[in-house]
Structure 1
């Protein structure tokens, strides 16, 4: 006797997901959505989101009633299913000072700044790695930051003056554009 009610194809690998796992995933997506709501507009612009999700985030900032806000967060979680979650998570990690990604990028930027201030050959290495850099403005900034530093900079830590901070900001922006 054949069983006509069960059409099962051995070629297809079906992954069964429990209801609990589905709910946990939705809660995770909602939590990411809540983190998106806490971002400023300029920070949110760096996160890769669709226009629909962007509109939902803008709309949720207008909602003040608790229950409506909760339902809207569920809607944002639903929209997040179609988004590039890894890309969004990476962008959020870059903005979070406690994340490993942020700390790694911060350390890399500080190493570049120290290298540029201590070694004149480092500029050539910078331009090799970042050929799109505006050379004249960058060199002027490095020169101004070097003037702020004490003469025996090889032994002393980098002094965080105004120009040094501007140089670090430039380096951070260049590193984030590259990746």
Structure 2
């Protein structure tokens, strides 16, 4: 093989790697548009959060910021529209709260097979939020399927958690 062919092959491989890296890009919360911010995770592993502010004209504006919550196993992930829809979440929410669990429709969507089995990033986020309220998400989902009203009552009384700990589901 001639040296010019070897050089061309090496140059082609190097350019291919550069193009792949450029196309894949690094996810930086502050560079994301507001319609992709919520449920995204920066390449550094921190969750992105949508925040509001008042601009110079006094109007409400939105910006994407890095939170202090680190989730390395999903680093560089921007949630799909399919998961946002299946899980019943809204990219327009400012901040994320466990108050969403109080809406039976939300819990039903989050616990649905379409969300719970296919959207590990969103499930992981709400798993952690539920745990912060003393609720074990898999138990809440089991109870929600058999008796939605009872599940909500248990959640409201914070007795829905079993005290057990287990990792949230993660897809391959």
Q: Give the alignment's TM-score, normalised by structure 1.
A: 0.26
Structure that is richer in helix per residue? 1
Which has the larger Rg?
1
